[in-house]
């Protein structure tokens, strides 16, 4: 590889790559994102390679392995270019047919097309799929064009030109001002103004001139995987953003703290860093500008609290990941007590776009105080699960119904949870709320890092609150009393409620406790921990009361408050349930209605699943 | 007008004398409506104690690095018009801030913290005294019988004053405990006993007559003037 | 010894402790008492700190694990889709709680907060094989395959 020694070198390399790219050549893109991988895209890829080789098509057809495209529900996904044909739920067996029909004979394999659930029509092109149509894929869109292991793919799309612009046409202060003017706010949860953070970091005194930049890829929010999608699919964009940021605050050392559960992200990022170094885009004298900067990848140890800035820094320093008081901001005194600019993966990925297209262009997207787009991981009881990127200001309803395709099985929508364990559950009435940092905070939830979990009528809100509380209790570092002891007690109270031992004063005690935990905890984990409870009490109080007063779980979830029984009219006496029951609570003769012994029943629900006639009822 | 009921009048209208006189090293702030100028780098707790204001603490000790874990020392800090609860033992004094050390919100929070602690660790005399002093007469949580409030005094004592490092925190969240490595006696422990000396639970076991696991409240009647908070 | 090699390779880092522990665990499968003592000595970090770090992060095992690692996702999305009942089922047929290994050493059962593949939830993983859209009823037959040789 030749080193890139000037912006002209980069420009000519980009031009060369673009020219080489044969737009006529057929390219089959296979999504290797986490969702598709779990449904077997590895096997699809292998057989695709085999088949191409067998038919001697290597010259004509190119295969590209990319990161997540977003539409995980329909994985494994194949995209055939230049026609832009979109095949979904492809399995190994489909491959020969795809090659014969589509590649050789130029015909479409109808069976593999996406079917619009409302119009019931088949859709051929990716861009016409409703899931993609309502999105604005500013940051995420390139994922389907890039093989994360190939830096040339990124450069041919104009990658690293923002870096060249920053290094050669702008001063660090100008870069910082540009980010400030764009109105970019942190995508990691808090929504802090990125430009302002950089400014305070730049202006903070550091006697030896050492400053750090950190990329927060800890993504501990259960049910969220956008940072993973970005880092695995398009690592160079994040790296480019970090270099620009480092230039703006004049730092020479960067860290990327990646969650322990994401080994592939670590691997891809390390490969990408190595390639960038080989090109001279990272390391000493970047692009001949005289600016030095390098990035080290640090693997986390599996602790949610390490997403918090001070805990993350303690973890990088090799200590227990315990937060410390932040009376002085980490931008002034962070890693090893030096000024540190810490930003989320998605925040960094936005930086090159802003520098390239300008603050003014960027600030036209979004709302008054929230600019740009946001990636959400749309999961739960929704038809189209996956990663979606939307402009700020879009309503939650549009995300759920237009992009998400509504609730499966004709069930009723109940709540949408944003912000992960620190956020809240919003009811149907608030669905028209725009996606905006301040609007979401106002109603007791928050933007968070991007988890968006949809719940239907079969979800018990008390159970959800319990789930988050238990999660936080186990993930709290345990340093300060309100969080450690408070959460423990909150879990106990809410467990009592779901077990039918709730008492009238419990809700008030819970509310009093949340107040202390919220106000007196040391770090953001404790300060936001009560949100799931507070928001569910606020919007679904009747459900709590049903548990406490009537000892009933309206959604039929809480085990101690439900009973299984067999509907005699529906039971055909087939005996499936009897064989499956682990405690032999079901008895009856073949072909006669069976009976269920409540004394023995452990409410595991297996009979419900096994009964072919829906004769098992819950009440 | 001799008795204007303004803020100044309540405290006699006089500012507190400065702590030091090196002008450029001073920060002025208001603590409980009294203006005071203290040295940069002090914590609110130090400033308040120097003024004679009592703030209860558990995990703080003069000889050790402040840790900010127990949150008993919370005070209300009003900065740019926004009020927040902050741990006074770690919060550095800052120009122009207003501090309320004993507002209703502060008291309520402290009471809840003591209630939380005592329900898990009822044998500590220190906690029982605090509870009596704050007028806590009922514990609404399930009683447990632990013997550590995880204040970390012993850990810091061992490391910072005894220059050892035999004990440390292990695990996290609700499972956190203080222990020696592998729960075995530590090779570097010299048996100096400093950890026991400083522990607010072990050394001061409550002696009042009571069922194990209850609130004591016995001292309320014995020593009515002794409780400052 | 391998461990010494890992330590030497990483000694130059500003922050050797966590990377060293992670790499050792990758090779040995868990961190034994003697390993932890050895690391503490070689890196000159007090034993209480090394032990504190090793018990803080959930990535570290201090006990050897079984032949097959069963990992159930308990992320929010999987929870909403019913992973609790799968956990109960696994607990029942394996006779262990999450984080424990069966007596015969065949299975170690763990849970994870999110595998990042929420679309296919509830998700279970044994070794490197994924099982999406799980139900309690599917558990038996999957486990059986791993018991018989
Ligand atoms: C308990 C807790 C967990 C957090 N987890 C994450 C995380 O997983 N990823 C992330 O980017 N930020 C996380 N944050 C937010 C970070 O502390 C920090 O605000 C953010 O990374 C700053 O970057 P930004 O300005 O780009 O948002 C978390 C905060 C708290 C309090
Ligand atoms: S709020 Fe929770 S996580 Fe944060 S320092 Fe306190 S105990 Fe640790
Ligand atoms: S043993 Fe005593 S001094 Fe040490 S943390 Fe526990 S309560 Fe504090
Ligand atoms: S004394 Fe301040 S937090 Fe414990």
Taking only the tens place, the pLDDT of each residue in A329-369 is 898 889 999 999 999 999 999 999 999 999 999 999 999 88
pLDDT greater than 50 at residue B229:
no
Judged by average pLDDT, the poorest of A265-269, A486-490, B1-5 is B1-5
Judged by average pLDDT, the poorest of A143-147, A294-298, B7-11, B179-183 is B7-11
Confidence of residue A372 (pLDDT cuts 50, 70, 90): very high
Confidence of residue A105 (pLDDT cuts 50, 70, 90): confident
Between these two residues, B50 and A24, which has the higher pLDDT value? Answer: B50
pLDDT value, residue B19: 59
Q: How far is CA A67 from the centre of its chain?
A: 14
Mean pLDDT of A516-522: 93
Q: Which CATH superfamily is domain C68-147 in?
A: Glutaredoxin (3.40.30.10)
Give the domain ranges of chain C: 3-56, 68-147
DSSP secondary structure string for all residues of A64-91? EEES--S-GGG-S-EEEETTTEEE-S--
Please report the domains of chain B, with CATH numbers, ordered by start residue. Answer: 17-101 (3.10.20.740), 153-198 (3.30.70.20)
Which of A306, A324, A478 is the best mutation target for the ligand 2 pocket, counting ligand atoms within 8 Å of the beta carbon and taking the most?
Answer: A478
Question: Does residue A471 belong to the interface with chain C, where contact is any CB pair within 8 Å?
Answer: yes
Residues lower than pLDDT 70 in chain C:
1, 148-149
pLDDT tens, position by position, A109-130 = 888 999 887 778 888 888 888 8
- Domain A373-456 fold is Ubiquitin-like (UB roll) (3.10.20)
Beta strands in chain C (DSSP E): 68-73, 100-101, 107-112, 124-126, 129-131
CA distance B113 to chain C (A): 24
Cβ–Cβ under 8 Å, residues A78 and A30: yes
Residue the block writes with tokens 């424990």: C100
Judged by average pLDDT, the poorest of A16-25, A46-55, A362-371, B139-148 is A16-25
Pairing of strands C100-101, B34-39: unpaired
Mean pLDDT of A81-103: 88
Confidence of residue A544 (pLDDT cuts 50, 70, 90): very high
The CATH code of domain A461-550 reads 1.20.1440.230
Percent of chain A clearing pLDDT 90 (strictly above): 54
Between these two residues, B196 and B220, which has the higher pLDDT value? Answer: B196
Percent of chain A clearing pLDDT 70 (strictly above): 100
pLDDT value, residue B220: 46
pLDDT value, residue B144: 87
Mean pLDDT, rounded, of chain B: 81
pLDDT value, residue A392: 93
pLDDT value, residue C3: 79
Is any atom of ligand 2 closer than 6 Å to the C-beta of A521?
yes
Ligand 4 pocket at CB < 6 A? B 57-60, 68-73, 87, 89
CB atoms within 10 A of CB A563: 13
pLDDT greater than 80 at residue B11:
no
3-state secondary structure at position A46: helix
Nearest residue on chain A to C116, judged by CA atoms? Answer: A225
Give the domain ranges of chain A: 24-81+85-124, 151-363, 373-456, 461-550, 563-618
Cβ–Cβ under 8 Å, residues A497 and A472: no
pLDDT value, residue B212: 52
Please give the class, per CATH, of domain A151-363: alpha beta
Confidence of residue B5 (pLDDT cuts 50, 70, 90): very low
Please give the class, per CATH, of domain A563-618: alpha beta
pLDDT greater than 80 at residue B17:
no
Q: CA A495, CA A475: separation in Å to the nearest integer?
A: 18
Nearest residue on chain C to A453, judged by CA atoms? Answer: C77
Supply φ then ψ for residue A387, to 5 degrees: -95, 125
pLDDT greater than 50 at residue A88:
yes
pLDDT value, residue A514: 94
Mean pLDDT of B34-49: 92
Judged by average pLDDT, the poorest of A256-265, B126-135, B201-210 is B201-210
pLDDT tens, position by position, A385-434 = 889 999 999 999 999 999 998 898 889 999 999 988 888 999 999 999 99
pLDDT value, residue B203: 55
Is A486's CB within 8 Å of B120's CB? no
Q: CA C51, CA C46: separation in Å to the nearest integer?
A: 9
Is B174's CB within 8 Å of A520's CB? no
| CA distances for C68 relative to A457, B35, C29, C143, angstroms | 37, 67, 12, 10
Is any atom of ligand 2 closer than 6 Å to the C-beta of A480?
yes
3-state secondary structure at position A170: coil
Q: Write B133-138 long-range contacts (CB < 8 A, 24+).
A: B133/B226, B133/B227, B133/B228, B133/B229, B134/B107, B134/B110, B134/B229, B135/B111, B136/B111, B136/B215, B137/B215, B137/B217, B138/B215
Cβ–Cβ under 8 Å, residues A113 and A124: yes
pLDDT greater than 50 at residue B221:
no
Query: Count of residues for chain C?
Result: 149
pLDDT value, residue A62: 87
| CA distances for C36 relative to B104, C39, C48, C50, C94, angstroms | 49, 5, 10, 7, 30
pLDDT tens, position by position, B203-218 = 545 444 445 556 655 5
CA distance A459 to chain C (A): 7
Architecture of domain A24-81+85-124: 3-Layer(aba) Sandwich (3.40)
pLDDT tens, position by position, B64-77 = 999 999 999 999 99
Best mutation site among B157, B169, B181, B189 for testing chain C: the one with the most C CBs within 10 Å?
B181
The Å distance, Cα B59 to ligand 3 centre, comes to 9
Whole-model pTM: value is: 0.90
Judged by average pLDDT, the poorest of A442-446, B132-136, B212-216 is B212-216
pLDDT value, residue A410: 87
pLDDT tens, position by position, A179-229 = 999 999 999 888 899 999 999 999 998 888 899 999 999 988 888 888 999
Environment class of residue A458 by beta-carbon count within 10 Å: exposed (0-12), middle (13-18) or buried (19+)? middle
């Amino acid at each position: 590889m030749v080193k890139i020694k000037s912006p002209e070198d980069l420009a000519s390399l980009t031009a060369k790559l673009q020219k080489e790219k044969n737009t006529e050549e057929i390219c089959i893109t296979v999504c290797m994102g986490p969702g598709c991988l779990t449904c077997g895209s590895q096997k699809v890829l292998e057989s695709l390679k085999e088949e191409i080789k067998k038919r001697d098509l290597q010259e004509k057809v190119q295969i590209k392995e990319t990161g997540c495209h977003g539409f995980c529900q329909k994985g494994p996904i194949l995209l055939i270019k230049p026609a832009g044909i979109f095949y979904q739920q492809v399995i190994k067996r489909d491959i020969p047919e795809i090659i014969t029909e589509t590649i050789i004979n130029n015909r479409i394999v109808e069976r593999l097309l996406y079917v619009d659930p409302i119009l019931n029509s088949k859709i051929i092109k990716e861009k016409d799929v409703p899931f993609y149509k309502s999105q604005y894929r500013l940051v995420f869109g390139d994922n389907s064009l890039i093989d994360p292991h190939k830096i040339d793919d990124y450069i041919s799309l104009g990658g690293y030109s923002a870096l060249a612009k920053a290094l050669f046409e702008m001063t660090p202060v100008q870069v910082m001002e540009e980010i400030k003017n764009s109105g970019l706010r942190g995508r990691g949860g808090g929504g802090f103004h990125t430009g302002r953070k950089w400014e305070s970091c730049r202006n903070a005194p550091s006697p030896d001139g050492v400053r750090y930049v950190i990329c927060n890829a800890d993504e501990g929010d259960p049910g969220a995987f956008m940072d993973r999608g970005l880092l695995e699919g398009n690592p160079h964009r994040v790296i480019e953003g970090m270099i620009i940021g480092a230039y703006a605050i004049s730092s020479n050392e960067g860290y990327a703290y990646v969650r322990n559960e994401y080994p592939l992200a670590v691997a891809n990022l390390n490969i990408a860093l190595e390639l960038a170094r080989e090109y001279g885009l990272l390391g000493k004298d970047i692009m001949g500008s005289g600016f030095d900067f390098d990035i080290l990848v640090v693997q986390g140890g599996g602790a949610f609290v390490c997403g918090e800035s001070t805990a993350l820094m303690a973890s990088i320093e090799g200590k227990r990941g315990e937060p410390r008081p932040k009376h002085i901001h980490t931008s002034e005194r962070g890693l090893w007590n030096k000024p540190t600019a810490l930003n989320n993966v998605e925040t960094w990925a936005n930086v090159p776009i802003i520098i390239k297209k300008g603050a003014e262009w960027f600030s036209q997207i979004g709302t008054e105080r929230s600019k740009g787009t946001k990636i959400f991981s749309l999961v739960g009881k929704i038809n189209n699960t996956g990663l979606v990127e939307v402009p700020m200001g879009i309503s939650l309803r549009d995300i759920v119904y237009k992009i998400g395709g509504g609730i499966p099985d004709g069930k009723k929508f109940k709540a949408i949870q944003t912000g992960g364990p620190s956020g809240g559950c919003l009811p149907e009435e608030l669905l028209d709320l725009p996606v905006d940092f301040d609007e979401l905070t106002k109603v007791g939830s928050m933007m968070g890092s991007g988890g968006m979990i949809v719940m239907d009528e079969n979800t018990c809100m008390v159970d959800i609150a319990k789930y988050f509380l238990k999660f936080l209790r186990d993930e709290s570092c345990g340093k300060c009393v309100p969080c450690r002891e408070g959460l423990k007690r909150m879990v106990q109270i809410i467990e009592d409620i779901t077990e039918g031992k709730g008492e009238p004063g419990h809700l008030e005690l819970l509310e009093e406790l949340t107040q202390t935990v919220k106000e007196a905890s040391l770090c953001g984990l404790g300060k936001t921990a009560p949100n799931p409870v507070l928001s569910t009490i606020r919007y679904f109080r009747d459900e709590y009361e049903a548990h406490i007063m009537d000892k009933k779980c309206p959604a039929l979830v809480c085990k101690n408050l439900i009973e299984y029984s067999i509907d005699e009219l529906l039971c055909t006496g087939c005996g499936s349930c009897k064989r499956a029951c682990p405690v032999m609570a079901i008895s009856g003769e073949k072909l006669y209605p069976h009976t269920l012994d409540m004394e023995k029943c452990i409410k595991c629900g297996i009979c419900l699943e096994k009964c072919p006639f829906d004769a098992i009822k819950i009440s | 007008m001799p008795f204007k009921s303004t803020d100044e009048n309540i405290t006699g209208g006089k500012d507190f004398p400065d702590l030091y006189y090196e002008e450029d090293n001073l920060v002025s702030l208001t603590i409980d409506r009294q203006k005071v100028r203290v040295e940069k780098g002090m914590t609110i707790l130090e400033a308040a104690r120097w003024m004679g204001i009592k703030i209860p603490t558990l995990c703080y000790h003069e000889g050790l690095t402040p840790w900010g874990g127990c949150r008993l020392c919370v005070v209300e800090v009003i900065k740019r018009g926004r009020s927040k609860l902050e741990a006074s033992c770690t919060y550095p004094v800052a120009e122009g801030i207003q501090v309320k050390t004993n507002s209703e919100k502060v008291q309520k929070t402290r009471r809840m913290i003591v209630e939380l602690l005592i329900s898990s660790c009822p044998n500590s005399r220190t906690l029982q005294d605090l509870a009596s002093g704050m007028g806590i007469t009922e514990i609404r949580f399930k009683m447990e019988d632990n013997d550590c409030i995880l204040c970390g005094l012993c850990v810091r004592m061992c490391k910072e004053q005894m220059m050892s490092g035999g004990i440390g925190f292990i695990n996290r969240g609700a499972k956190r405990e203080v222990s020696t490595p592998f729960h075995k006696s530590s090779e570097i422990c010299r048996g100096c006993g400093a950890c026991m000396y400083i522990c607010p639970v072990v050394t001061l076991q409550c002696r009042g007559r009571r069922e194990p696991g209850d609130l004591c409240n016995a001292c309320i009647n014995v020593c009515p003037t002794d409780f400052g908070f | 010894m391998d461990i010494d090699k890992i330590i030497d390779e990483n000694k130059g880092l500003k922050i050797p402790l966590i990377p060293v522990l992670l790499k050792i665990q990758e090779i040995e499968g868990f961190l034994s008492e003697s390993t932890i003592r050895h690391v503490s000595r070689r890196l000159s970090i007090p034993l209480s700190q090394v032990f504190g770090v090793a018990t803080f992060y959930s990535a570290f095992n201090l006990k050897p694990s079984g032949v097959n690692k069963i990992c159930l996702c308990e992320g929010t999305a999987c929870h909403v889709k019913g992973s609790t009942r799968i956990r109960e089922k696994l607990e029942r047929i394996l006779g262990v709680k999450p984080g424990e290994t069966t007596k015969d050493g065949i299975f170690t059962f763990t849970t994870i907060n999110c595998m990042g593949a929420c679309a296919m939830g509830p998700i279970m993983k044994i070794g490197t094989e994924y099982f999406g859209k799980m139900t309690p009823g599917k558990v038996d037959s999957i486990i059986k395959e791993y018991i018989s040789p």
